Amino acid sequence: MTAACLIADIGGTNARFAMVDEGSLAVRDIRVLAVSAHEHIEQAIRHYLAEVGQPLEGIKRACLAIACPVEQDCIDMTNSGWCFSRAALARALALDELRIINDYTALAYSLPHLAEQDKRKVGGGAARPGFPIALLGPGTGLGVGGLVDGRPLVTEGGHVDFAPNDEVELAILRHLWRRYEHVSAERLLSGMGLEHLYQALCDYHGETATAYGAADIGRHALAGSDERCVETVARFFAILGSVAGNLALTLGALGGVYITGGIVPRMTELFAESRFRERFEAKGRFRGYLEAIGTWVVVAEQPGLLGAAAALLAEEAGA
C-alpha cells in the first residue's frame, strides 16, 4: 500500500492542508483552515487529519511551506503568532521526515509541474527543458527566485536598484528619492509600489493624488474609470517587464519566466495588452535572446501545495 504524505501551504491568515501519495503529485483532500482558529500548528494539523479521516499513524513524511524564514529549528511565524520547533513537531507527530520550506521555495518547485490551465502565456517561445527558470512575484513585496538544475534558488532580488527607462520613470525615481535613500525594484513592484507609482505620476502631472490604496488603483484600472490609475498599472507592468528581462539575462532563464503574486494574476487581460513584453525584450544586442524566452502568469489556485508535493518528490529522487 502506498504511504500517504501530509503537505501544507501556511500563510499568516490561512493554512492550506492536503494529502499526496508517496511518489505522486496528485494533491487531494484540500482543506483551508483559519490560522487564528488554532492555538498552534500541531492543533491545526490534528484538526485537518480528523476532518479528512486520515489516521496520524499512517503518515511518516510531511512537507510544510511556510511564509517566513525557515533556516532555524525554531520557526517563528510573526504574522500569525504560531511559533514551533521543527524537531519537536516531528516528534509529536511521530514523523520520520518533516521538511519545512519557504513558501516561495514551494512556488519554485511547482513551476515545472503546472498544468496548461494553471498558467497563461504572454509572449516568447517554448520553454527549453533543463535550463534555468525564473520567478517573480509582485505582491506584499517583490519575490524573486528561480529553479536551477531542479533546485530552488531563493534570492533577495527584489531589492536590486530601480533603473528608469525614460523621462517619466526618471521623474518617478526623483519623487521616491525624497522618501528613500535606496529605491529598489520592490518600492515600485509591490502593493505599496502601486501606491508609490500612482502618487509619483500624479506629482509628475501636477495633480493632487487621491488617497487610493493598491486595491483601489487596481479596481479603477480594470474599470477604466480613472485615467491616472490606468496609467499607473500600465507603468507597473512596463517596469516589471524590464526587471523580468534583467532576471532572465542574469539566470539564463531559457526555461521560461513565471509571474506570480497577488497582483498580476488578477489583471491578466490588462497585463497581456501591456508593454511588459516590449520592455522585457528591450535589451539592445540581446533582444533576440529574450524574444525566444517564454513568459507566463501563474493562475493556479494552490501552487504552494503542488510545490510542497514536488519538494517531497525531489527529496525521494535525491535532488
Rounded-to-integer distance, Cα 213 and Cα 197, Å = 11
Whose cell is 513565471? That residue is: 258
81 appears as a binding residue in the annotation: no
252 appears as a binding residue in the annotation: no
Q: What type of residue is 255?
A: G
Taken in order 256, 283, 275, 245, is the CA torsion positive or negative?
positive
Rounded-to-integer distance, Cα 111 and Cα 134, Å = 9
Whose cell is 513558501? That residue is: 103
Nearest to 114 by CA among 293, 253, 303, 309: 303
8 appears as a binding residue in the annotation: yes
Rounded-to-integer distance, Cα 4 and Cα 15, Å = 19
Rounded-to-integer distance, Cα 35 and Cα 39, Å = 8
73 appears as a binding residue in the annotation: no
260 appears as a binding residue in the annotation: no
- 142 in Cβ contact with 189 (< 8 Å): yes
C-alpha torsion angle, residues 292, 314, 100, 131 (rounded to 10) = -20
9 appears as a binding residue in the annotation: yes
Enumerate residues 6+ apart whose C-beta is below 8 A from 147. 108, 109, 111, 112, 132, 133, 135, 153, 255
Binding residues for ATP: 8-13
Binding residues: 8-13
